[in-house]
Amino acid sequence: MSNKNFDINNLWREKEEVLDLTHQVSKEFLRALPHRNVLPSKEDVLNLEQFVYKLPENATNATAIIKELNTLGSPGTMLTASPRYFGFVNGGALPASIAAMWLATVWDQSPTMKLMSPTVCKLEKVVEEWIVDILNLPSDTTCSYVTGTTTADILCLVGARNYVLKKYGWDVVKKGLIGAPKIRVIVGEEVHTTMLRALRVIGIGNEQIEKVSVNKAGVIDITALPRFNDEPTIVCLNAGNTDTGGFDDFNYIIDKAKKYGAWVHVDGAFGLWARTSQHYRYLTKGIEKADSWATDGHKWLNTPYDSGIALFRNERAIQESIQLKANYLIQDSEDPMNTTLETSRRARAVELWAALKSLGKRGVSEMIDNSCRLTKYFESQLKAAGFEILNEVFINQVMVSFGSSKKTKLMIKAIQDDGLAWFSGTNWQGKEAMRISVSNWATTTTDIDRIMELILKLNKEIKA
């Protein structure tokens, strides 16, 4: 063993040993996952302090690094991949998608240009076809693989902004935004907070946004829709409200907006996947008439994180808005970098390809149906126990009140602290509630039964 810190031969030698160890500890982690508490213990979180030290002067062996990461890091994780995690629509990761991600990491590819990664660029095109097919979107829809729905929103909205302004005689690429005509932006009052962030990023301030009132399901009340006119207009709709799982009336709103040439964008972070199911597709009726859609693989399709997908029909509007050129680049008109915000990026389509292929078209819709069935089961158990359900259950979201605001908050805290499962709280139209998002492929009725036992026990204790 040399005593150099940067030693190429040593780094080569470490490779196999460290990958074997990682394989082994990953398997142990996944094996224990369904049996562990979702919440890490206080002690395990405290132990993370052991990570806090100055960057060592000298090199550390790769296996020692993975041992440290596993010993300290693995117990300190909040198990968002657990079948009993019901917060924030996180999903889990299907086995094939985890393994595909590992392999793609070993490949170390960036699908910036076709030249840089023939395999990943090919898979991106294949996944585009599969996703457009399974979501039943227009065949000329382009997919762009980004980090998450927020980024997908930003990308689509940049194209939307430039397109509606150009139609109005203002070329943003040439002139920028200062002095540009005002854009009307219409959203529902229950718009997801990340959509407002995306709008701010593209230069639309909160005061510029027209918020339309919503109904009990949190979706746009179509009787309150403002009149459309010939001004440059962007409409942002929602497929799957994060609290209720409700869907805007795409058919009605898009027809109205399109008559005046507005660009309609849909945030379908998780709800867009309902379109893969013959039982829930009706909720998305008319969604195909939109101009762009944003969704995630890492929510309801159960891929690892960092798997956002921007879908849009007007590829030219997107390309013109984000174009780049450099003499050192070997560019092809079909290069993915022409339609993504990032130039260098992970080979995200690989895990999407694996997840889709591992379930097949039928399996994806069965997984979605299963989440919705379990959500209904959860709802029925909570109702049977006498608790109030605050929303009509459309897909995979339930909100439950345990009584007064104070009691509901106490119950949420007690359930979170117990650690068996994890749910978030929310305030729904003035009432405190616990949110339940069912999106993990591995969840079963047995998990829900165990949680119901806990809820009933805590309810008794809190009452007492």
Ligand X SMILES: Cc1ncc(COP(=O)(O)O)c(C=O)c1O
Residues of this chain that bind ligand X (CB under 6 A): 89, 148-150, 192, 194, 240, 242, 267, 269, 296, 308
- Minimum CB–partner distance for residue 152 and ligand X (Å): 8
Please report where in the chains the tokens 């962007």 appear, as a residue.
234
- Minimum CB–partner distance for residue 310 and ligand X (Å): 11
- Minimum CB–partner distance for residue 306 and ligand X (Å): 9
Q: 310 CB contacts (<8 Å, ≥6 apart)?
A: 143, 144, 146, 151, 152, 153, 155, 156, 292, 293, 294, 340
Q: Using the 8-state DSSP alphabet, how is residue 306 labeled?
A: S
- Considering beta carbons, is residue 111 or 245 the nearer one to ligand X? 245
- Minimum CB–partner distance for residue 218 and ligand X (Å): 11
- Considering beta carbons, is residue 159 or 188 the nearer one to ligand X? 188
- Minimum CB–partner distance for residue 250 and ligand X (Å): 15
- Considering beta carbons, is residue 89 or 219 the nearer one to ligand X? 89
Residue 130 in 3-state DSSP?
helix
CA–CA dist 238, 235 (Å, integer): 10
- Minimum CB–partner distance for residue 396 and ligand X (Å): 11
> Of the candidates 191, 248, 203, which has an alpha carbon nearest to the alpha carbon of residue 221?
248
- Minimum CB–partner distance for residue 373 and ligand X (Å): 21
* CB distance 270 to 335 below 8 Å: no
- Considering beta carbons, is residue 365 or 437 the nearer one to ligand X? 437
Q: 64 CB contacts (<8 Å, ≥6 apart)?
A: none
CA–CA dist 410, 412 (Å, integer): 6
Q: Using the 8-state DSSP alphabet, how is residue 404 labeled?
A: S
- Considering beta carbons, is residue 112 or 242 the nearer one to ligand X? 242
CA-angle at 177, arms to 174 and 178, nearest 5°: 110
Q: 218 CB contacts (<8 Å, ≥6 apart)?
A: 188, 190, 241, 243, 244, 246, 391
- Considering beta carbons, is residue 238 or 365 the nearer one to ligand X? 238
* CB distance 233 to 164 below 8 Å: yes
- Considering beta carbons, is residue 82 or 149 the nearer one to ligand X? 149
- Minimum CB–partner distance for residue 88 and ligand X (Å): 6
Amino acid (one-letter) located at 453: E
- Minimum CB–partner distance for residue 197 and ligand X (Å): 9
- Considering beta carbons, is residue 91 or 232 the nearer one to ligand X? 91
Burial of 175 (0-12, 13-18, 19+ CB in 10 A): exposed
- Considering beta carbons, is residue 150 or 284 the nearer one to ligand X? 150
* CB distance 374 to 438 below 8 Å: yes
- Minimum CB–partner distance for residue 422 and ligand X (Å): 15
- Considering beta carbons, is residue 150 or 314 the nearer one to ligand X? 150
Nearest residue to ligand X on Cβ basis: 148
* CB distance 332 to 121 below 8 Å: no
Beta carbons within 10 angstroms of residue 249's beta carbon: 17
Beta carbons within 10 angstroms of residue 449's beta carbon: 11
Residue 164 in 3-state DSSP?
helix
Please report where in the chains the tokens 């997840």 appear, as a residue.
355
